[in-house]
Amino acid sequence: MSERKFDLEDRLVDFSCRIIEVVEALPSTRAGNYIAGQLIRCGMAPALLYGEAQGAESRADFIHKMKISLKELKETRVCLKVISKAKMITPENRLNNIKSEDEQLISIMAKSIETAKKNLNPAKN
């Protein structure tokens, strides 16, 4: 039996692709276009920032890039909430899976940052 290795990069890329699907499903209205532009930026940024974090020049640089990625995931969460509340995509439950994935990615990023911070100053632990 072959076990698939958990790969955060792959998960973030998949999340970005799902964000594209949400953006394409938004109505072509002023509000729809505005939220689409915002969502495409913040929803795709975490994958790109994670790529940058993998090439970080130091642990502090890694932490900084991961914090920005976390910030973008939180902004994505707000965009998805607005889309749901404004009923821009119906039925609303179509967004449940991507909202759940966003929450999971937020938790993973936060834990990763916490771990990296602990490893930054191991003498203080």
70-98 pLDDT per residue, tens: 999 999 999 999 999 999 999 989 999 99
- Residue 38 confidence (pLDDT): 98
Q: Give the integer Cα–Cα distance in Å for 24 and 20.
A: 6
- Domains defined for the chain, CATH in brackets: 9-119 (1.20.1440.60)
pTM for this entry: 0.89
Q: Give the integer Cα–Cα distance in Å for 27 and 35.
A: 10
Tell me what the pLDDT averaged over the chain comes to: 92
Conformation bin of residue 123: beta by default, left when phi > 0, alpha when psi is -120 to 50 = alpha
User: 59-68: per-residue pLDDT in tens?
Assistant: 999 999 999 9
Q: Is the predicted pLDDT of residue 56 greater than 50, yes or no?
A: yes
Burial class for 93, CB neighbours closer than 10 Å (0-12, 13-18, 19+):
exposed
- Residue 1 confidence (pLDDT): 42
